[in-house]
Amino acid sequence: MTATTERAVGQPIGRIEGPDKVRGAARYAAEFQVGDDLAYAWVVQSPVARGTLRTVVVDPLVEPDDVLAVLWHGNAPRLGPADDPELAVLQSDRISYRGQAVALVVARTLEAARRAAASLQLEIDEEPHDCLLRVDHPSAYEPEKVNPGFPASSALGDVDAALAGAPVTVDVTYSTPALHNSPMEPHATTALWVNDDLVLYDSNQHPPGVAAAVGALFDLPADRVHVITEHVGGGFGSKGTARPNAVLAAMAAKVTGRPVRLALPRQALFSMVGHRTPTIQRVRLGASADGRLTAIDHKAWGQSSRLFEFAEQTAVTTRHMYAAPNRRTGHRLVRLDMPTPRWMRAPGEAPGMVALECAMDELAVALEIDPIELRVRNEPAVEPESGVPFSSRHYLECLRRGAERFGWHDRDSRPRQRREGDWWIGTGVAGATYPAMVQPSTARASRLPSGDYEVSIAATDLGTGARTILTQIAADALEVPVAQVRVRIGDSTLPMASVAGGSSGSASWGWAVTGACRALRSSSASSATFDSSELVAQQEKDGKHAFGAHFAEVRVDAVTGEVRVTRLFGMYAAGRILNPRTARSQFRGGMIMGMGMALHEESVLDPAMGAWVNHDFAEYHIPAHADLESVEAEWLDEQDDQLNPMGSKGIGEIGIVGSPAAILNAVWHATGVRIRDLPARLDKILPYL
């Protein structure tokens, strides 16, 4: 690479759209002005968890002058077959969960829509429902595959014999609650039909995917659905594919012949757009007296809806984390009268690594070995299950360097030793990992008459800095200053991009952008297009992961059981860091979400009602600023030329993997109390203080 190439990538450039966002000039899906006959839609949600909707009584219609349509399965237009049954909205009389969309009111004003919606009478034949996940659930079964296509189980050696013969064992069950992605910007769509084509201003993580999915429902090819996703206020996975709001808005626009806006209220996000499945996980570890793992057994229970099987890969990380001659992982699923789970930041890895990394801490205690040393002794030479060498793995370096930076060395390993006033103080560590994935994408680079360049790709920026990083990558590939590059994203009509998910966006889009820019530079054409599909297909998929180590210091109030995190520190090895400023924000954001998972976040289920009852931000607690005393991220300079032209690994999710375990391990170290049922609320700790 030339000197010029180094200039933009690696620089802490601020987000390009930052000033627009601060000034309120950035437009989100529910803010686009689309003519003066815009109508508003309001969703009517099922008040029961299971049953049959016999009819919707509209008479007498409230706000008759303003209501344009009341849609339900009895009168809604028929949709084409949906891959995702959650998108088959208003097509059937079956009620599969409480909060499911059962009717839609479209009106001239939002207020009228809302008021009419509240007045509708739903005649429902209610049936007994079943909403509680438990390990002894009679209908628990083993799915064929877990996301995104892994075998549901794996087995190596003789785990039972190894456990029976191990001098030291740990057998623990950890559970994590349902969690909700809770992006700042609720899911929203403004839909209009232009001639027979559909235009959607939609908040999502994948405009081409939304175009294809919604198009199929309305019998349109993807190129006749134009999805515009200029800015997205977060998604955390819940906007990875089209959600019911896009379909409902499109349907309403079709029926009324007007543009229609549908912005889901916060409460609806707790049922209609997905969540992280609750998990129950049993981990058994066997080790020799000198701390070498002889067996790892990880079995995870999760849930899905009646509508379809969404099987989260909770135990899959355990397949490549530590060396052990005997290993077994497995998954069980229970289908309940609940909404379908969906991806949420590090789906699988985040809850799975809670169980594995807390169990490792418990094993270190049982062995009387420092938890970092235990991990050192079980470092694999190659990726354990595949046998493929790691393209790069600097896990131990992260642990060691992190330990130095955090100040781990003089730690007294015994619990409940440090007390300052009313506070018990302790520290904990846990590993982090996330696969370095890449997906096919296409980009186009063009020369503009002004001498500047335009780079186009149907990617999205969820607030992460994707637009900025692509600009940096393009500038380097074109060997021009950043100021000469305009990046266009957020539009399904641009060249095909992969989803902003799986921490794969920058790697996948950056590859296509690099290819297009290099092709343009080496030709005199006015534009060049590059499709990475072939190169991506040729790549070895196994053995590619980012790694990291999380360290936490907590204090626990001996009077109240309140936990505060005094320090949270992450050390990562994630390939080349493209922009230290946006990267730090991703790492720290993940860690903060990890803190929420450890201490605050929890969707509280009332099984009798079939509902998560704390469905707003006053009651669903995410960490507040006052909870963040010190959250720092650093990284190693990692070179890995087997990844992509930039040498980068994804960084969007690794921050939430392992950070909850580090905090829980620190809570134990502070108090001697093991919390195995997340979150570590004060009422669970208080009885033991």
* Minimal distance, residue 30 CB to another protein, in Å: 17
Determine the 3-state secondary structure of 168 from DSSP: strand
103 lies in the binding site for another protein (CB under 8 A): no
Backbone angles phi, psi at 581, to 5 degrees: -70, -50
Query: Which of 144/422 has CB closer to another protein?
Result: 422
Among 187-195, 254-262, 286-294, 614-622, which window interacts with another protein (CB under 8 A)? 614-622
Among 24-32, 515-523, 528-536, 619-627, which window interacts with another protein (CB under 8 A)? 619-627
Among 87-95, 300-308, 350-358, 599-607, which window interacts with another protein (CB under 8 A)? 599-607
User: Which residues in 482-521 contact another protein (CB under 8 A)?
Assistant: none
Per CB under 8 A, the list member of 121, 560, 630, 639 interacting with another protein is 560
Per CB under 8 A, the list member of 127, 559, 639, 641 interacting with another protein is 559
Query: Which of 45/644 has CB closer to another protein?
Result: 45
Query: Which of 116/480 has CB closer to another protein?
Result: 116
Facing residues of 297 across strands? Answer: 284, 328
Among 254-262, 336-344, 547-555, 618-626, which window interacts with another protein (CB under 8 A)? 618-626
606 lies in the binding site for another protein (CB under 8 A): yes
Considering 86, 349, 638, 653, which one is annotated as catalytic? Answer: 653
CA atoms of 675 and 181, how far apart (whole Å): 23
Backbone angles phi, psi at 117, to 5 degrees: -60, -40
Query: Which of 271/504 has CB closer to another protein?
Result: 271
Facing residues of 155 across strands? Answer: 328
608 lies in the binding site for another protein (CB under 8 A): yes
Place of tokens 């686009």: 32
Per CB under 8 A, the list member of 57, 289, 381, 604 interacting with another protein is 604
DSSP 248-315: HHHHHHHHHTS-EEEE--GGGGGTSS--BPPEEEEEEEEE-TTS-EEEEEEEEEEEEESS------TT
627 lies in the binding site for another protein (CB under 8 A): yes
* Minimal distance, residue 559 CB to another protein, in Å: 5
The answer to whether 600 touches 682, Cβ cutoff 8 Å, is no
Per CB under 8 A, the list member of 153, 493, 614, 642 interacting with another protein is 614
Query: Which of 542/562 has CB closer to another protein?
Result: 562
Residue 274: left (phi > 0), alpha (psi -120 to 50), or beta? left
The answer to whether 383 touches 390, Cβ cutoff 8 Å, is yes
User: Which residues in 249-268 contact another protein (CB under 8 A)?
Assistant: 267
* Minimal distance, residue 445 CB to another protein, in Å: 46
Per CB under 8 A, the list member of 115, 377, 447, 581 interacting with another protein is 115
Place of tokens 């050390």: 571
Backbone angles phi, psi at 354, to 5 degrees: -60, -50
Per CB under 8 A, the list member of 7, 21, 254, 681 interacting with another protein is 681
Among 1-9, 194-202, 584-592, 601-609, which window interacts with another protein (CB under 8 A)? 601-609
**Positive or negative CA dihedral for 587, 588, 593, 597?**
positive
Q: What is the DSSP letter of 481?
A: -
Interface size with another protein, residues (CB under 8 A): 37
Token pair for residue 484? 């000469």
User: Which residues in 404-423 contact another protein (CB under 8 A)?
Assistant: 422
DSSP strands (E only) in 423-484: 423-435, 442-447, 453-456
609 lies in the binding site for another protein (CB under 8 A): yes
5-8: list long-range contacts, CB under 8 Å, 24+ apart.
5/476, 5/477, 5/479, 6/476, 7/475, 7/476, 7/481, 8/471, 8/472, 8/473, 8/475, 8/476, 8/481, 8/482
Among 2-10, 237-245, 366-374, 605-613, which window interacts with another protein (CB under 8 A)? 605-613
3 lies in the binding site for another protein (CB under 8 A): no
Name the residue among 85, 273, 277 with its Cα closest to residue 185: 273
Here's the x/- map for another protein, 12-51, by CB under 8 A: it reads as ---------------------------------x-x----
Q: How far is CA 680 from CA 188, 553, 613, 662, 664, in A?
A: 33, 15, 19, 12, 7
Backbone angles phi, psi at 508, to 5 degrees: -70, -50
CA atoms of 124 and 54, how far apart (whole Å): 6
Per CB under 8 A, the list member of 324, 599, 661, 678 interacting with another protein is 599
618 lies in the binding site for another protein (CB under 8 A): yes
Place of tokens 């066997």: 286
377 lies in the binding site for another protein (CB under 8 A): no
Query: Which of 79/178 has CB closer to another protein?
Result: 178
Query: Which of 262/636 has CB closer to another protein?
Result: 262
Query: Which of 114/258 has CB closer to another protein?
Result: 114
128 lies in the binding site for another protein (CB under 8 A): no
Is the omega angle on the peptide bond into residue 60 within 30 degrees of 0, that is, cis? yes
Residue 140: left (phi > 0), alpha (psi -120 to 50), or beta? beta
Instruction: Tell me how many degrees the CA angle 137-142-143 measures, rounded to the nearest 5.
Output: 120
Determine the 3-state secondary structure of 141 from DSSP: strand
600 lies in the binding site for another protein (CB under 8 A): yes
* Minimal distance, residue 562 CB to another protein, in Å: 6
567 lies in the binding site for another protein (CB under 8 A): no
Among 109-117, 311-319, 463-471, 495-503, which window interacts with another protein (CB under 8 A)? 109-117
57 lies in the binding site for another protein (CB under 8 A): no
End-to-end CA distance of the chain: 59
626 lies in the binding site for another protein (CB under 8 A): yes
| 94-95, strands of its sheet edge to edge | 94-95, 51-57, 121-126
* Minimal distance, residue 275 CB to another protein, in Å: 17
* Minimal distance, residue 615 CB to another protein, in Å: 8
Q: Catalytic: 86?
A: no
Among 52-60, 235-243, 531-539, 559-567, which window interacts with another protein (CB under 8 A)? 559-567
Neighbours of 323 (CB within 10 A): 15
Facing residues of 677 across strands? Answer: 175
Residue 314: left (phi > 0), alpha (psi -120 to 50), or beta? alpha
Query: Which of 534/683 has CB closer to another protein?
Result: 683
Query: Which of 400/564 has CB closer to another protein?
Result: 564
The answer to whether 287 touches 375, Cβ cutoff 8 Å, is no
Query: Which of 109/173 has CB closer to another protein?
Result: 109
* Minimal distance, residue 231 CB to another protein, in Å: 24
Per CB under 8 A, the list member of 561, 575, 594, 660 interacting with another protein is 561
* Minimal distance, residue 626 CB to another protein, in Å: 4
The answer to whether 97 touches 338, Cβ cutoff 8 Å, is yes
Determine the 3-state secondary structure of 549 from DSSP: strand
Catalytic residues: 653
Residues near another protein (CB under 8 A): 45, 47, 111, 114-115, 118, 267, 422, 559-562, 564, 599-600, 604, 606, 608-609, 611, 613-616, 618-619, 621, 623-627, 681-683, 686-687
